[in-house]
Amino acid sequence: MKLPRSVSQLLEEAPDKLARYPKLLDMFLKCYPNTLETTASMLKDGTAFVITGDIPAMWLRDSSAQVRHYLPLAAGDPELRLLLEGLIRRQIACIHIDPYANAFNEEANDNRYDVDLTELDPSVWERKYEVDSLCYPLQLAYQYWKATGSAVIFDASFRSALEIILSLWKTEQRHGELSPYRFARVDCPPSDTLRNNRMGMPVNYTGMTWSGFRPSDDACTFGYLIPSNMFAVVALRYVEEIATEIWADAELVRQAAELREEIDFGIQTYGTYLHPKYGKIYAYETDGFGNYNLMDDANVPSLLSIPYLGYAEADDPVYENTRRFILSSDNPYYNEGKFAKGIGSPHTPPGYIWPISLAMQALTSRDDAEIQGLLDMLQATDADTGFMHEGFNPDDPAHYTRPWFAWANSLFGELVHTLMNRGYFD
């Protein structure tokens, strides 16, 4: 689609601000508009559809993350606002179709790569239930409201979607007893399906809400995914504020606050681990029975992204301990090579690092020297394409996955624009 005026203007200003960084400038000029140029389209019904890049479907998570970096420009740009409002309305419509689904088709055409053992609507591309898939549209709508001052998106459909989300999260607090959700995929790696008769392994009640899959779309080892529950806590704060300021709905405020407190209690009571080397840290997953998965994954929400999500400040002691752990070889998905060091994912080949994690490390850093090192790594590992990828071999960045991965391009664009606004490059 044609670039909105505000985006074009920013790209015209960038050469002055990044004059001393020619490689970074080239990458910014390519990555920042990538979502608009290659993945976004306005539909006849006035909604917007945003594909991930090389997959012709819209993920609730990815589509939100792909446009977040445009929010600072939205207030004064009607064309950009039309796109963002259209995307939020499309996401809300998708939640009404199936709140357990993570990815959707542009039309009700039954398109998908896999036919899974679950309830499938023709509009659904994939039905891997992920808590973060419901958090992201709430975050986008809230941040759009804050960026523009416009509450036009908070209509009756949005309000009823909130009720659907709260009801689902309460149901999934007692997954084994109450949940209707089942999922299995045949002839696939174990990470693409749920064990235990399509329900996932048993979990104990903790107050947290259950997730079948991670934001990588890989199955959870243990059903309480801590970063996603943290994101749910933040999203419920948004619901409380929206319900107070927009609708003056005391009952909705009460429901959201009660659920938020229960989930947060679960995180703090069951989601931390006393590590002999790092002290008290957050686990990545737990089952509430005393089993923990100590790791971090590049996909956001992640433990690395806790301050970015808004769950805790970067100087929070437990976060600082957790950050030291996940940015070390004690994290099984922290990798080092000739050109980079950082967090990868079991979703890509062993030893790979994700640009998303490098950008997120910089966005959550308070150390300019660390930020500069991460910018250097991002510039050294684009394989001279000017774009970000999903994952790359840190010893040979020419080996990478997904040449067209808009989320990574957007997060890189957000990082550079954030640093520009801070005067980092002056």
Query: Residue 214 has what pLDDT?
Result: 98
Give residue 344's pLDDT.
Answer: 98
- Judge whether 232 and 266 are in contact, CB under 8 Å: no
pTM above 0.95, yes or no: yes
Q: pLDDT tens, 60-87?
A: 999 999 999 999 999 999 999 999 999 9
CA angle 114, 116, 120 (to 5 degrees): 105
Of 1.50.10.10, 3.90.1170.50, 1.10.3720.10, 3.30.450.90, which CATH number belongs to 5-421? 1.50.10.10
Q: At a CB cut-off of 8 Å and minimum separation 6, what does 119 contact?
A: 98, 127
The pLDDT score that the predictor gives to residue 280 is 98
Pairwise CA distance, residues 64 & 320, whole Å: 27
At residue 314 the predicted structure's pLDDT band, cuts being 50, 70 and 90, is very high
Give tens-digit pLDDT for 245-304: 999 999 999 999 999 999 999 999 999 999 999 999 999 999 999 999 999 999 999 999
Bond from prior residue into 33 cis (ω within 30 degrees of 0): no
On the question of pLDDT at 1 being above 90, the answer is no
Question: What percent of the chain has a predicted confidence (pLDDT) above 70?
Answer: 100
> How many other CB atoms are found less than 10 A from the CB of residue 113?
10
Task: Decide if 305 contacts 364 (C-beta within 8 A).
Answer: yes
Q: What is the mean pLDDT of the chain?
A: 97
pLDDT at 147: 98
Q: What is the pLDDT of residue 376?
A: 98
Q: pLDDT per residue over 96-148, tens digit each? A: 999 999 999 999 999 999 989 999 999 999 999 999 999 999 999 999 999 99
Percentage above 90 pLDDT, the chain: 99
Average pLDDT over residues 393-411: 97
Domain assignments of the chain as residue spans, ordered by start: 5-421
Residue 281 corresponds to which tokens in the numbers above? 């840290």
| Percent helix, strand and coil across the chain, each to the nearest 5 | 50, 10, 40
Average pLDDT over residues 28-51: 98
Mean pLDDT of 162-184: 98
155: CB partners within 8 A, 6+ apart: none
pLDDT tens digits, one per residue of 186-223: 999 999 999 999 999 999 999 999 999 999 999 999 99
CA–CA distance, 40 with 54 (Å, rounded to integer): 13
Q: Mean per-residue pLDDT for 364-371?
A: 97
* Distance separating alpha carbons of residues 337 and 172, to the nearest angstrom: 40
Q: What is the mean pLDDT of residues 339-348?
A: 97
Q: What's the burial of 21, exposed, middle or buried (CB within 10 Å: 0-12/13-18/19+)?
A: middle
